[in-house]
């Protein structure tokens, strides 16, 4: 069921082979754990203020500093919970399907090895994110805060519910996981390269980012191999679903901001959110899709990112 000796994958072998061979020394799960009790300066924000879309809104800017720091700590929790969600609901389920050969082109033992390595990495990232969330919740008294399900997740579930064919459901999951794995790197880089936040938060995110940079290269190969092995109908479904997935991933999602504003009982939040909606209506989030666009060039979807 899981292990095969079928060499059906169409890969640039070096990429997958190198990745499989370097795993032991390369990945976060094989490094020493960060001590989250160390080096915390209460005056330094947990999360970059530049990533809060209404940071300069005059009403928000007028809030006092301790409340703003607490807001940024909650934003750090939401950011990590979103990462956990992508791993747990989008990437892991797809890896599990591929490991069981539910889609073609991935039965090569080297592919299976890398898939299992990615699963170990992702499970470790969930632990890393969970630990930093708990640490921030303790420091800032955020235990009652609950982040709502991300829009991208509700969209995936809505689409899955409308599909009865098992293979098409797997193709839909492949499309969503492709966008996640080939763009999470950029999502993490925003924080991993920010020098204004708690150093441990930056280092933690950078460890995750390094793993994801390898994952995006591996996924680029694995998804291309799978796509080439699909029949014409499957390829068409993948093209359609990845277009829609891209749309869902770049639609502004203010759910977590709304939940933090409500949890901290920030005055004037309805008006603040209304101003944010107006400012972002018809806008798309910009992400670095370099790896994804090279995949699109290969599968004839060059126009999907324009």
Specify the residue, 212 or 248, whose C-beta has the smaller distance to Fe ion.
212
Our CA angle for 228, 229, 235, nearest 5°, is 65
One of 215, 220, 241, 287 touching Fe ion (CB under 5 A)? 215
User: Least distance in Å: CB of 232 to Fe ion?
Assistant: 29
Closer by beta carbon to Fe ion, 215 or else 287: 215
CB 217 within 8 A of CB 19: yes
201 versus 237: smaller Cβ distance to Fe ion? 201
**CB-based contact 95:119 (threshold 8 Å):** yes
Q: How far is the CB of 128 from Fe ion (least distance, A)?
A: 9
Nearer to Fe ion, 46 or 122 (CB): 122
Rounded to whole angstroms, the Cα distance separating 196 from 43 reads 11
Distance CA 155, CA 250 (A): 12
C-alpha span between 143 and 209 (Å, rounded): 27
Query: Contact region for Fe ion (CB under 5 A) — 121-129, 140-148, 163-171, 193-201?
Result: 121-129
- Closest to Fe ion by CB, 122 vs 248, is 122
Residue 213 beta carbon to Fe ion: minimum distance, rounded to whole angstroms: 9
Q: Choose between 81 and 122: whose C-beta lies nearer to Fe ion.
A: 122
**Stretch binding Fe ion (CB under 5 A), from 139-147, 189-197, 208-216, 259-267:** 208-216
Q: Which of 112, 125, 140, 209 binds Fe ion (CB under 5 A)?
A: 125
- Contact region with Fe ion (CB under 5 A), list: 146-154, 196-204, 205-213, 261-269: 205-213
Shortest Å distance, C-beta 86 to Fe ion: 8
The stretch near Fe ion (CB under 5 A) out of 13-21, 198-206, 209-217, 256-264 is 209-217
Characterise 105 by phi-psi region: left (phi > 0), alpha (psi -120 to 50), beta (else): left
Nearer Cβ to Fe ion (125/140) = 125
Interface with Fe ion (CB under 5 A), residue total 4
Select the span of 27-35, 96-104, 210-218, 268-276 touching Fe ion (CB under 5 A): 210-218
**Residues of span 63-102 touching Fe ion by CB under 5 A:** none
Take residue 191 and report the two structure tokens written for it.
């924080």
Q: Taking contact as CB under 5 A, which single stretch among the options 2-10, 101-109, 115-123, 276-284 is the one that binds Fe ion?
A: 115-123
Binding site for Fe ion (CB under 5 A): 122, 125, 212, 215
């Amino acid at each position: 069921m899981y292990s095969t000796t079928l060499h059906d994958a169409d890969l640039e072998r070096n990429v997958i082979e190198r990745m499989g061979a370097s795993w032991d020394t390369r990945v976060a799960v094989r490094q020493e754990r960060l001590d989250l009790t160390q080096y915390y300066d209460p005056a330094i924000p947990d999360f970059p203020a530049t990533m809060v879309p209404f940071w300069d809104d005059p009403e928000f800017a007028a809030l006092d500093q301790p409340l703003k720091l607490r807001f940024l700590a909650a934003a750090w929790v939401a950011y990590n919970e979103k990462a956990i969600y992508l791993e747990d609901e989008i990437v892991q389920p797809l890896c599990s399907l591929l490991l069981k050969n539910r889609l073609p082109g991935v039965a090569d033992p080297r592919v299976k090895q890398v898939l299992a390595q990615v699963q170990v990495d992702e499970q470790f990232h969930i632990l890393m994110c969970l630990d930093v969330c708990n640490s921030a919740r303790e420091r800032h008294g955020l235990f009652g805060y609950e982040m709502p399900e991300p829009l991208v997740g509700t969209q995936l579930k809505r689409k899955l519910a409308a599909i009865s064919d098992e293979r098409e459901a797997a193709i839909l999951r492949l499309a969503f996981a492709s966008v996640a794995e080939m763009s999470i790197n950029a999502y993490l880089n925003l924080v991993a390269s920010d020098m204004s936040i708690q150093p441990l938060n930056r280092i933690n995110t950078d460890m995750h980012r390094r793993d994801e940079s390898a994952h995006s290269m591996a996924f680029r190969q694995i998804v291309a191999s799978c796509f080439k092995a699909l029949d014409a109908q499957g390829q068409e479904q993948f093209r359609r679903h990845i277009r829609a997935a891209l749309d869902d991933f770049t639609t502004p999602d203010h759910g977590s901001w709304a939940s933090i504003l409500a949890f901290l009982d920030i005055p004037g939040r309805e008006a603040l959110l209304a101003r944010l909606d107006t400012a972002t209506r018809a806008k798309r989030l910009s992400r670095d899709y370099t790896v994804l666009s090279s995949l699109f060039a290969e599968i004839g979807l060059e126009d999907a990112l324009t």
